[in-house]
């Protein structure tokens, strides 16, 4: 593992050498510090923030201000990983100018090194403008959660010949537009394999099988912290929610019974309390 700061050329080199890219989401400095120390290559401040941290029903309501606020917090915890900010719904669709201004906020205000945005051919002009402005862009195709309604819900994409061909075309166009990588979400393993072989830029899969150049998961899913909905492609490496609940129940019981805090978790002083009380009274 490279122990210096991850850069875009490092990701290309990893693709070319066959070393897989490991990417995870983070939304605050504490988590980011742990992920970074573990050696994660890329940290995405995902707009999944809306669901796993802010309690929204989808990613649609997430604002630029919320994203920048959390991305800045993550920045404080990251030394090595490449930091990518996720452009929320309507921060890049209204006009190219607005997209460049908002993309720039991730770099200027939050210290991100790149942005990610969802969409295929329809966002290529925006991708070109961002890249021209010096803002590296990661694409995101297949299942695009911001427009899941138009896709008929959170469903696997590219299972029929037309949509598979469309996804291949979108990947090619994003590469041509200057994207440095592309997330492939919820598409068949074989389709992700074809795209990964054809593109010179790395593909990062989520629910897209093992042939991608890298993988990404939402950190709350991997740690079993978000139990409301766990997609079938998620591997839960540890179930933290029940462990946290057990720890909190123990705390509540000890506070109620008076067994916390005990002497090991309290401060004492060398003076007799009577001496202090005498002073206070005089």
Kindly list the catalytic residues.
Answer: 185
User: Nearer Cβ to ligand KIV, position 100 or 216?
Assistant: 216
Q: Tell me the window of 45-53, 161-169, 233-241, 266-274 that interacts with ligand KIV (CB under 6 A).
A: 45-53
Measure the CA–CA gap between 279 and 9, rounded to whole angstroms: 69
Q: Does 218 bind ligand KIV (CB under 6 A)?
A: yes
Shortest reach from residue 52's CB to ligand KIV, in Å: 8
User: Nearer Cβ to ligand KIV, position 67 or 100?
Assistant: 67
- The count of chain residues that interact with ligand KIV, using the rule CB under 6 A, is 10
Backbone phi, psi, residue 175, to 5°: -60, -45
Structure tokens at 5: 């700061």
Q: Which residues have CB under 8 Å from 137's CB, separation 6+?
A: 103, 114, 115, 116, 117, 127, 130, 131, 177, 178, 179, 180
In contact, 6 and 82? CB cutoff 8 Å:
yes
Contact residue for ligand KIV among 36, 46, 142, 213 (CB under 6 A):
46
Q: Tell me the window of 41-49, 152-160, 168-176, 192-200 that interacts with ligand KIV (CB under 6 A).
A: 41-49
Contact residue for ligand KIV among 74, 179, 183, 223 (CB under 6 A):
183
User: Nearer Cβ to ligand KIV, position 151 or 260?
Assistant: 151
What is the footprint of ligand KIV within residues 83-102 (CB under 6 A)?
86
What is the footprint of ligand KIV within residues 67-86 (CB under 6 A)?
86
In contact, 193 and 216? CB cutoff 8 Å:
no
Q: Which residues have CB under 8 Å from 101's CB, separation 6+?
A: none
In contact, 90 and 67? CB cutoff 8 Å:
no
User: Nearer Cβ to ligand KIV, position 148 or 260?
Assistant: 148
Shortest reach from residue 206's CB to ligand KIV, in Å: 5
Contacting residues toward ligand KIV, per CB under 6 A: 25, 44, 46-48, 86, 183, 206, 216, 218
């Amino acid at each position: 593992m490279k122990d210096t700061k991850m850069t875009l050329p490092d990701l290309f080199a990893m693709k070319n050498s066959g070393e897989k890219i490991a990417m995870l989401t983070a939304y605050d400095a504490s988590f980011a510090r742990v992920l970074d120390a573990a050696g994660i290559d890329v940290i995405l401040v995902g707009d999944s923030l809306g669901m796993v941290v802010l309690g929204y029903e989808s990613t649609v309501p997430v604002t630029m201000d919320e994203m920048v606020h959390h991305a800045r917090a993550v920045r404080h915890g990251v030394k090595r990983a490449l930091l990518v900010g996720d452009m929320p719904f309507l921060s890049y669709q209204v006009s190219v100018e607005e997209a460049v201004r908002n993309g720039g906020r991730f770099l200027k205000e939050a210290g991100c090194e790149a942005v990610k945005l969802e969409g295929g051919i329809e966002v290529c002009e925006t991708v070109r403008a961002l890249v021209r402005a010096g803002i590296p862009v990661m694409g995101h195709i297949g299942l695009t959660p911001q427009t899941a309604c138009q896709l008929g819900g959170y469903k696997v994409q590219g299972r029929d010949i037309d949509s598979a061909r469309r996804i291949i075309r979108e990947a090619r166009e994003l590469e041509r537009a200057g994207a440095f990588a592309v997330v492939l979400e919820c598409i068949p393993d074989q389709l992700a394999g074809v795209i990964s072989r054809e593109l010179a830029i790395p593909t990062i899969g989520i629910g897209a099988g093992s042939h991608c150049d890298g993988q990404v998961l939402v950190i709350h899913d991997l740690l079993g912290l978000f139990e409301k909905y766990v997609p079938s492609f998620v591997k839960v490496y540890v179930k933290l929610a029940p462990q946290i609940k057990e720890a909190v129940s123990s705390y509540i019981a000890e506070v109620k019974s008076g067994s916390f805090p005990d002497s090991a978790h309290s401060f004492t002083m060398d003076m007799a309390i009577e001496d202090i009380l005498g002073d206070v009274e005089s």
